[in-house]
Amino acid sequence: MNKSFLRRGFLWLCPGFVLIGTVAAQQNDRPSPTADTFSRDGQLYVGVDYYPEHWPKERRETDVLLMKEAGFNVVRLAEFSWVWLEPSEGTYRFEWLDEVLALLERHGMKAILGTPTAVMPAWVARKYPETLAMQSNGQRYTWGSRKDYSLSSGTYRLLSERITRAMAEHFAETPNVIGWQTDNEFAGPQDFSETSRIDFQDWLRRKYGTLETFNQSWGTHFWGHIIRDWAEITIPDCTGEGMWGISGNPSACLDWRRFNSWINYRFQADQVKILRAGNPDWFITHNLMGLNPTISYYELGRDLDFVSWDNYPVLSRSSQPYAASMTADLMRGVKQKNFWIMEQTAGPLGWGIFTDTPMPGEIRKISYQQLAHGADAQIWFRWRTATAGREQYWHGLLGHDGRPLRRYREAAQVAHEYRRLEKMLEGTTVEAEVAIIYDYETIWSLASQPGYAGNNYARAIARYYNALFRAGINVDLISPEVDLSGYKLVLAPHLVILPDARARKLIAFVEQGGVLLTDIRTGVKDENNLAHERTLPGLLSDVLGIEIEEYGALDDRSYPVFSEELFPDTLAAIHYVDWVTPKSAAVMARYDQWHLEPFAAVTRHEAGRGIAWYVGTVFQEDSFYDHLIDRLLEDAGVERWVDLPEGVEASIRQGDGRKLVFLINHNETEASVAIEPGKRDLLEGEVLGDRVMLGPYGVAVIAW
Show which residues are catalytic. 185, 343
Q: Do 486 and 514 form a contact (C-beta atoms < 8 A)? A: no
Report d(CA 76, CA 381) in Å as an integer.
9
> Which element (helix H / strand E) includes 622?
helix 622-636
Report d(CA 517, CA 484) in Å as an integer.
13
Report d(CA 86, CA 151) in Å as an integer.
20
147: left (phi over 0), alpha (psi -120 to 50) or beta: left
For 583-616, the DSSP string reads SSSEEEEEE-SGGGTTSEEEEEEEETTEEEEEE-
> For residue 55, which amino acid is it?
W
**CA diameter of the chain:** 78
How are beta strands 287-288 and 546-562 bridged, if at all?
A: unpaired
Q: How many C-beta atoms surround the C-beta of residue 3 within 10 A?
A: 19
> Which element (helix H / strand E) includes 701?
strand 699-703
Is 666 exposed, middle or buried (CB count within 10 Å of its CB: 0-12, 13-18, 19+)? buried
Residues 680/682/686/691 CA torsion (nearest 10 deg): -60
Q: Do 217 and 319 form a contact (C-beta atoms < 8 A)? A: no
494: left (phi over 0), alpha (psi -120 to 50) or beta: left
Q: Do 103 and 61 form a contact (C-beta atoms < 8 A)? A: yes
3-state DSSP call for residue 288? Answer: strand
Report d(CA 40, CA 305) in Å as an integer.
13
Report d(CA 355, CA 388) in Å as an integer.
19
Q: Output DSSP code: residue 378.
A: E
3-state DSSP call for residue 642? Answer: coil
- φ, ψ of residue 381 to 5 degrees: the values are -105, 125
Strands (E), 536-685: 546-562, 571-582, 586-591, 600-607, 610-615, 617-619, 648-655, 658-665, 671-674, 680-681
Report d(CA 93, CA 59) in Å as an integer.
20
3-state DSSP call for residue 502? Answer: helix
Q: How far is CA 435 from the centre of its chain?
A: 15
Which residues fall within 8 angstroms of residue 390, CB to CB, at 6 or more apart?
A: 3, 351
Q: Do 572 and 561 form a contact (C-beta atoms < 8 A)? A: yes
Report d(CA 381, CA 80) in Å as an integer.
14
Q: Which long-range contacts (CB under 8 A, 24 or more apart) does 283-286 make?
A: 283/178, 283/179, 283/180, 284/179, 284/180, 284/181, 284/182, 285/179, 285/180, 285/181, 285/182, 285/340, 285/342, 286/181, 286/182, 286/183, 286/186
